């Protein structure tokens, strides 16, 4: 659900970590200023990635593989004061705002399983290639290594049946 919208507005790369592929947003700064956040902390792009939208909440799995809602206590966003949004309503159930976050994070987790399968298929088809990124600021060039991307040349060279299969499965 999120990827098509994000890919239209943000540079997306693929990163291998612990022998697993993950999608990453390419972010950075120019002259000490964020390319995505203004001086007042406002997000400048028309798509706010869910990892930021739901923060400081995240999901974790128990040893029994059950999903639980967690909160980053170090975020500075939790308070013992009466002001703010409570986690629970008077009946002890998740408050409506927190319930929306819980549902959104569960959807995100489901989307991640689909994305993982897509990335596995793209790698299996040998459609990934290193993405060399060179950032220039004044007279200094910084090279970013280790990021992969989908090879346009390899995708365009696929037999029609393989291309259509990847497109139908949402990998392209």
Contact 37, 44 (CB under 8 A): yes
Task: Dump pLDDT digits (tens) for 144-168.
Answer: 889 999 999 999 999 999 899 888 8
Task: Give the pLDDT score at 166.
Answer: 87
Q: What is the mean pLDDT of residues 8-18?
A: 92
Share of the chain above pLDDT 90, in %: 51
Task: Dump pLDDT digits (tens) for 21-47.
Answer: 999 998 877 777 888 898 898 999 888
* CA pair distance 116, 105, nearest whole angstrom: 16
Contact 10, 45 (CB under 8 A): yes
Residue by residue, DSSP assigns 57-70 as EEEEE-TT--EEEE
CA distances from 66 to 63, 100, 136 (A): 7, 19, 46
């Amino acid at each position: 659900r999120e990827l098509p919208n994000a890919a239209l507005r943000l540079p997306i790369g693929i990163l291998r970590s612990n022998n697993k592929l993950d999608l990453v947003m390419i972010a950075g700064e120019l002259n000490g200023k964020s390319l995505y956040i203004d001086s007042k902390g406002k997000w400048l792009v028309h798509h706010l990635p869910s990892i930021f939208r739901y923060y400081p909440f995240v999901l974790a799995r128990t040893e029994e593989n059950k999903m639980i809602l967690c909160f980053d206590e170090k975020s500075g966003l939790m308070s013992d004061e009466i002001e703010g949004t409570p986690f629970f309503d008077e009946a002890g159930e998740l408050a409506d705002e927190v319930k929306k976050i819980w549902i959104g994070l569960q959807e995100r987790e489901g989307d991640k399983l689909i994305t993982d399968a897509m990335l596995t298929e793209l790698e299996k088809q040998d459609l990934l290639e290193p993405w060399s990124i060179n950032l220039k600021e004044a007279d200094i060039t910084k090279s970013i290594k280790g990021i992969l991307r989908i090879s346009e040349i390899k995708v365009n060279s696929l037999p029609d049946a393989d291309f259509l299969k990847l497109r139908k499965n949402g990998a392209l």
